[in-house]
Amino acid sequence: MSAPLRHDWQNHEIEALFALPFNDLLFQAQSLHRQYFDPNAVQVSTLLSIKTGACPEDCKYCSQSGHYNTELKKEKLLEVEKVLQEAQRAKDSGASRFCMGAAWKHPSQKDFPAVLAMVKGVRALGLETCMTLGQLSREQTEALAAAGLDYYNHNIDTSREYYAKIITTRNFDERLDTLDHVRTAGIKVCSGGIVGMGESQNDRVGFLRELANLPQHPESVPINHLVKIKGTPLQDVADLDPFDFVRIVAVARILMPKSHVRLSAGREQMNDQMQALCFFAGANSIFYGDKLLTTSNPLANDDMALFKRLGIHPESRTVHEEDFRRQISSHDVAAYYDATAAH
């Protein structure tokens, strides 16, 4: 029997997890991981920036904010046809989900029909769909759900307290409102954040507590390691201790044992050993493909080579827990018959 999911985590309990010796924390995370997931399967999603740069928001980490001079090449909304070509390429190289991101505060009425056409088109290719477009009204969320959107990514990014120091053009509660619209419309929730932005240990505790105490855990929890962007206020922030990053992954896994925890931005700066530790700590999803939104990602071939060295296989489509248990038990039954037939 798996432990029941909790939504009432207290700060002191999360602090106690962070205070565990590294090996004890990883053992606990890995043990829990195995109760809910195939420990050798990792979900792979490919990202595409469908509208790049000139964003009105002032997120201090972001290459796409119009408030900073980051030397980014801006691009208006891509044609639907171009997006579908990229989605087909992602599918051909082994991705099971296609995530489309736009540098908007919120989608405009003018752009919305094209966005809906992208969802329908990508879905028709047999891929899971994910979008991240900023704030959504209830009506827009319902229209996306009706078009067949599987996931919406909307990060809380950090603790409520630190949020106001990183972004001033919107607030934390507006983020929660959009997440509530997404959940109510029946779209799966992808929500996580960024670490390595100079946040305190209390901020990391608060960030993970907010996610874990949502009425329902997000199905997908991206943990981004800050990619330092020249021209942004965070360009020279101090480096995070790599073991602290692994601890954050492990604590996310323990608090939200049934969620996919995604090792997101920042993998290019990690070596293979560090990524292997993150998978051991419970990360079971990655962005796959040579580019994230505007920054680079490990080459797809290198990721497949790493999977092979670690005995990891890409998860085909989101396998529901019960389906996985059924696979396990039929496998166990077959193994039992093989063993008994031998006697």
Active site amino acids: 55, 59, 62, 99, 130, 190, 262
Query: Which one-letter amino acid corresponds to residue 222?
Result: P
* Rounded Cα–Cα distance for residues 228 and 54 (Å): 18
Residues in contact with ligand SAM, shown as a per-residue x/- string from 209 to 228 under the rule CB under 6 A: ---------------x-xx-
Q: Site residues for ligand SAM, window 189-208 (CB under 6 A)?
A: 193-194
Please check whether residue 264 is in contact with residue 224, taking contact to mean a CB–CB distance below 8 angstroms.
Answer: yes
Residue 136: which of 198, 187, 72, 75 has the closest Cα?
187
Residue 265: which of 195, 185, 343 has the closest Cα?
195
Question: Among residues 25 and 211, whose Cβ is nearest to ligand DTB?
Answer: 211
Please check whether residue 26 is in contact with residue 243, taking contact to mean a CB–CB distance below 8 angstroms.
Answer: no
252 binds ligand SF4 (CB under 6 A): no
For the record, the structure tokens of 31 come out as: 């043990």
* Rounded Cα–Cα distance for residues 231 and 69 (Å): 5
158 binds ligand SAM (CB under 6 A): no
Question: Among residues 26 and 99, whose Cβ is nearest to ligand DTB?
Answer: 99
Q: Site residues for ligand SAM, window 1-60 (CB under 6 A)?
A: none
Question: Among residues 129 and 132, whose Cβ is nearest to ligand SAM?
Answer: 132
- Name the pairing type of β-strands 260-263 and 193-195: unpaired
Q: How far is the CB of 250 from ligand SF4 (least distance, A)?
A: 26
Neighbour-count burial of 107, counting CB atoms closer than 10 A to its CB (0-12 exposed, 13-18 middle, 19+ buried): buried
* Rounded Cα–Cα distance for residues 187 and 180 (Å): 10
Residue 129: which of 167, 172, 87, 89 has the closest Cα?
87
Query: Which one-letter amino acid corresponds to residue 290?
Result: D
Residues in contact with ligand SF4, shown as a per-residue x/- string from 35 to 74 under the rule CB under 6 A: --------------------x-x-x--x-xx---------
Q: Which does 157 bind (CB under 5 to 8 A by kind): ligand SAM, ligand DTB, ligand SF4, none?
A: ligand SAM
Q: Which does 50 bind (CB under 5 to 8 A by kind): ligand SAM, ligand DTB, ligand SF4, none?
A: none
Q: Which does 65 bind (CB under 5 to 8 A by kind): ligand SF4, ligand DTB, ligand SAM, none?
A: ligand SF4
Instruction: Please identify which residue in 28, 141, 155, 275 interacts with ligand SAM, judged by CB under 6 A.
Output: 155
Q: In sequence order, what are the residues at sequence separation of 6 or more whose Cβ sits closer than 8 angstroms to the Cβ of residue 154?
A: 132, 134, 136, 175, 178, 179, 182, 189, 190, 191
Q: Which stretch binds ligand SAM (CB under 6 A): 20-28, 153-161, 239-247, 316-324?
A: 153-161
Chain positions contacting ligand DTB, by CB under 6 A: 47, 63, 99, 101, 132, 153, 155, 192, 222, 224, 227, 264-265, 292-295
H-helix segments, the chain: 11-19, 22-36, 80-92, 112-124, 138-147, 160-166, 172-184, 201-212, 242-255, 272-280, 300-310, 321-341
Q: Site residues for ligand SAM, window 58-87 (CB under 6 A)?
A: 61-62
Q: Coil, strand or helix: which one is 219?
A: coil
What are the residues binding ligand SAM (CB under 6 A)? 61-62, 101, 103, 132, 134, 154-155, 157, 193-194, 224, 226-227, 229, 265, 293
Would you tell me which residues interact with ligand SF4 (CB under 6 A)? 55, 57, 59, 62, 64-65, 103, 134
